[in-house]
Chain A
Amino acid sequence: MRLSECIHQKSYERVTRLVRRHFITLVPALVVFALLLTLPVGAAWLLRTVFPSLETSATLLPIIVLFGSGYYIAVLLFFYSYFLDFYLDLLVITNDRLIDMEQVGIFARHTAEVDLYKIQDITSEVKGVFASLFNYGDLLIQTAGAVERFVVEGVPRPDTLRQEILDLATGDRAYHQKTT
């Protein structure tokens, strides 16, 4: 399935921007991932020191190896799922709509959309040391649609994005006023 099918793209509609969270928001999880990968190494050293007979045990060593293998696969799978959770959070900006797709875990997905001409107000926020350094932040979009408030977190260059969406919304409002 392509993105155009996923968002039920209309014939006159074209995708102007695809916005994902800034990659730097993934760094804390990567640090935790690296730490979790090194945990079994420390545990193995500790076991060898405290129970040196374990290395030659014909029954316990296979169980420990299987447990360690399962641990590594679980950590890899957890962080693969975490990355996809990050990567599948997508803000699709077209010349007609704003579509916010948010992956919530593996088994849930939340999608909200609003017509551009219904956007009333957009606020961009950049808070914190890393956010200021790497220029990423949140967009709070006030709308007259069914979803009154969109919050898009951790987007790069929120000020530029805010202005871009406002310009598109102004253009779409003018088009709708002309045709009605």
Chain B
Amino acid sequence: MIIVPLYAFLIIYGVFLLACAGFFVVNVGNLVRTGTFTFASLLATFLFLSCTAIVVWGTWHTLQAVDWAQPIFNFTYASV
């Protein structure tokens, strides 16, 4: 019997967030390497971080009461 719990999607979401964080770090690295830390670039970075924080907080707030251990898929092999 193969049970896929709901927290599998949470793990996928976490991996996705890590990948986005990696891309963000590369972008900031480009800003540092080119010496273009100006008001406009800092404002864009601040807006991106704050909007992302709002989205993540909203997601956490919406999904607080979820039982992540419940199964999504339940594969049962029929015994011969």
Contact = CB atoms under 8 A, between A and B. Distances in A.
A62 B9 contact: yes
B27 A81 contact: yes
Given A59-B6, A69-B59, A74-B20, A84 B33 contact: no
Interface size class of B (residues with CB under 8 A): 35 or more
Interface of A: 1-6, 58-59, 62-63, 65-66, 69-70, 72-74, 76-77, 80-81, 83-84, 87-88, 90, 101, 103, 106-107, 109
**Interface majority SS (helix, strand, loop, mixed), chain A:** helix
Contacts of A2: 35
Given A58-B66, A80-B45, 15 more contacts: A1-B32, A4-B35, A62-B63, A62-B68, A65-B62, A69-B58, A69-B59, A70-B13, A73-B16, A73-B20, A76-B51, A77-B48, A77-B52, A84-B44, A88-B36
B6 to A, nearest CB: 6
Interface string B6-27: 1001101100110010011011
